[in-house]
Amino acid sequence: MEYRYGLYKDWLGAYEAIGIPAISHHAAARILAVTYVHGNNEALVMNKKYLAEVEHIKKMYHVDGGESPDDELVELIQQYVKELEQYRDDHDNDSTGEAIFRSHAPEWAHRLLMDRYGIKIIN
């Protein structure tokens, strides 16, 4: 597992070296939007692939420190955050059965975290 992580991180670094993002605008915006709205999850900070991708997004789309972020990315993040918050608000009173945590997020958000990182949205 550690070998694959190192190889993946090197692969992202190769893209950074030539100045081309390995993660598309839409994928990056979705990752950041889901993190913003549903990021209260310890599994995210323990996931090496997630952390490597966030670092790559920060570098490639200038979302780090005092830089001016990529305009297209900002618009997409705002769109996805609005969608996630609206979905959460619309489904806030839905029954969750006996579950301790609610996970009111659209299916694409659940799939994004599960397929990319093996993480469930828990709040």
The pLDDT tens digits of the residues spanning 43-87 come to: 999 999 999 999 999 999 999 888 899 999 999 999 999 999 998
> Which has the closest alpha carbon to 36: 118, 115, 105?
105
The domain in which residue 18 lies consists of: 2-117
* Sign of the C-alpha dihedral computed for residues 20, 22, 26 and 28 taken in this order: negative
Q: Is residue 123 situated within a structural domain?
A: no
Q: Is residue 67 situated within a structural domain?
A: yes
Q: Is residue 26 situated within a structural domain?
A: yes
Q: Is residue 87 situated within a structural domain?
A: yes
Domain count for the chain: 1
Q: Say what the pTM is.
A: 0.86
The pLDDT tens digits of the residues spanning 87-110 come to: 888 876 665 555 445 567 899 999
Q: Is residue 122 situated within a structural domain?
A: no
Please list, in sequence order, all residues whose beta carbon lies within 8 angstroms of the beta carbon of residue 54, skipping any fewer than 6 positions away: 31, 32, 35
